[in-house]
Structure 1
Amino acid sequence: MQIIYLIVAAESDDKAFAAAESQLVRHYVKAPDVRETVLVEKKRLEKGTGFVIETKPAP
């Protein structure tokens, strides 16, 4: 199993999920089997805004 973190900017939750799916299709030759998609955090997006995504080391 592979965990993928994807950041998208969208006007609504529905558009965010659609954008996430679209990005996966564009990135991979064969789109991965997605088991779960979760909105983790909503933040205002402005010029100069940055976000850190922490991950756990692989076992």
Structure 2
Amino acid sequence: MAEEQAETFLYKLEAELADRLLTIVVVAQSDERAFSAAENNILRHTVAPPQIKQLSLVEKKPLGRQGVGYVIETAQF
């Protein structure tokens, strides 16, 4: 009997740090794993481990179809 595979999702999260706001996009099978992956990506992205004031889930989409993605608005220049 084959095991059921958990559905995979594309997550967009925002991390509020002391001096900036980061947008993180990860692929995960649960909200818990998405938050963990986001924290790990933040640690790899920064030189010194930052203090994360808040980590928020902004959007969650199933990965089962073509063209799934996000538009991430950045600061105007």
Q: CA deviation at 1:29?
A: 1.3
In terms of fraction of residues, the more strand-rich structure is 2
Aligned to 1:5: 23
Structure 2 residues without counterparts, runs of 5 or longer? 1-18
Distance 1:12 1:24 in 2: 18
Q: Give the number of the structure whose alpha-carbon radius of gyration is greater.
A: 2
TM-score, normalized by length of structure 2? 0.63
- State how many pairs are aligned: 58
Higher relative contact order (CA 8 A, sep 6+): 2
Show structure 1 runs of 5+ residues with no match: none
Taking structure 1 as the reference length, the TM-score comes to 0.79
Q: Matches of 2:46 and 2:59 in 1, distance apart?
A: 25
